[in-house]
Amino acid sequence: MYKRSIPGHYLNNFGHWFLQSHIGQLFSLLFLALRSLFYGKGNRRIDIHEIILHIYNVGIKSMPLILIVGTILGTVLIINTAGLVPKVGFGNFFGNLMVIAIVRELGPILTAFLIAGRSGSSLTTRIASMKVNSEIDALETLGVSPVRFLIMPALIGGIIAMLIANAFFCLSAIGTGFMVTKAATFFLEGVFKIQLEWSSYFHSILIALKPFDFVVGFLKPVIFASIIVTNACYYGTRIPNDQRAVPIATSQSVVSSFIFIVVSDLLFLFFYILDYINSVKSVI
């Protein structure tokens, strides 16, 4: 009887330790936000308005920055690799390279970094300021759930905005990067000698794209957005009632989001390591 109780004892201790840990607190906050979407009391019209507002603030306002960074990344990638085309063959090289570098890896993670630095920090500052000014306590006094009113719209809006921003980043790197490269070869013909046609370039990317790439392109932004919003809300609601703690919480939120994004991206690599190795071999 005693031996049978040992596994349950360890399981209870592990569960208690996990819920008290930082990761456990983040998972709990994420679960409460998702649960409030279906079971919490609230006004659907207000919820939709807040979600649209977060989509606009997180995604639409970030488009100029995403366009610039995506275009620079695509241009640098194309210019630095176009010289290898005669050696390895266009069809087997460019498409696989752009899909691996942009669609699978750099596109989602750089978009997440930009969103975390720009929108994640502002969300932490907003919630932390509300906590210091006792606005969150006022919501609870009025019977309004802060999770339903503040965190849930930020989470849903952040996920939708991240999906849009990631797609826009990849399109900017592939499309606008190509146009900038063509303009550079036209005006600097003596410096860049690149023979690059849109039809061959675009066709090679379409051939290299697989259904798995669309799955990754969907899952990564969803997970990264959940990390950013959950971290921002966690640090914003956990600060003491001191205005000087707001910038500290903001910096901690951004740094924590960066770390979790990199770790989760590494975990993704283990899931498709075999396909990734085959794709890299086809590029090399």
pLDDT string in tens for the chain (284-residue length) = 444 444 655 556 655 565 667 787 888 888 888 888 777 666 778 888 889 999 998 888 999 999 999 999 998 888 877 766 655 555 556 778 888 889 888 999 999 999 999 999 999 999 999 888 888 888 888 878 888 888 899 999 999 999 999 999 999 999 898 888 888 777 766 556 667 777 878 888 888 888 888 888 899 999 999 999 999 999 988 888 888 888 899 999 999 999 999 999 888 877 766 665 665 555 55
- Within 10 angstroms of residue 34's Cβ, the number of other Cβ atoms is 16
User: CA-CA distances (angstroms) from residue 100 to 137, 165, 198, 277?
Assistant: 47, 18, 19, 11
**How far apart are the C-alpha atoms of 166 and 108, rounded to whole Å?**
6
**How far apart are the C-alpha atoms of 101 and 73, rounded to whole Å?**
10
Q: For residues 136 and 151, is the Cβ–Cβ distance under 8 A? A: no
Q: For residues 175 and 70, is the Cβ–Cβ distance under 8 A? A: no
Residue 232: which of 118, 145, 105 has the closest Cα?
A: 118
**How far apart are the C-alpha atoms of 172 and 179, rounded to whole Å?**
10
User: CA-CA distances (angstroms) from residue 263 to 198, 214, 259, 268?
Assistant: 36, 21, 6, 9
**How far apart are the C-alpha atoms of 131 and 56, rounded to whole Å?**
24
pLDDT value of position 3: 47
